[in-house]
């Protein structure tokens, strides 16, 4: 997805997160960073996106006591 509202693709690509999809084969995929995901959802501004931002932030707080 080369364009997302509120996110510069090149910068987001530099901050991407690699995740292992299949441990047996070592298959990996790249995911957008938390900060870029939040920026994109805030730029979209739809009610569900704003609720997602709240949930993402709350989940981050619970991981950093």
User: Cα separation of 18 and 64, whole Å?
Assistant: 21
Look over the chain and give the mean of its residue pLDDT values, rounded to a whole number: 92
What local confidence, expressed as pLDDT, does residue 2 receive? 65
Q: What is the pTM (predicted TM-score) of this model?
A: 0.82
User: Cα separation of 5 and 7, whole Å?
Assistant: 6
What local confidence, expressed as pLDDT, does residue 45 receive? 96
pLDDT tens digits along 7-34: 999 999 999 999 999 999 999 999 999 9
């Amino acid at each position: 997805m080369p364009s997302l509202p509120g996110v510069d693709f090149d910068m987001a690509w530099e901050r991407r997160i690699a995740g292992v999809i299949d441990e047996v084969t070592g298959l990996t995929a790249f995911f957008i960073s938390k900060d870029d995901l939040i920026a994109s959802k805030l730029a979209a501004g739809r009610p569900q996106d704003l609720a997602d931002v709240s949930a993402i932030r709350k989940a981050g707080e619970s991981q950093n006591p």
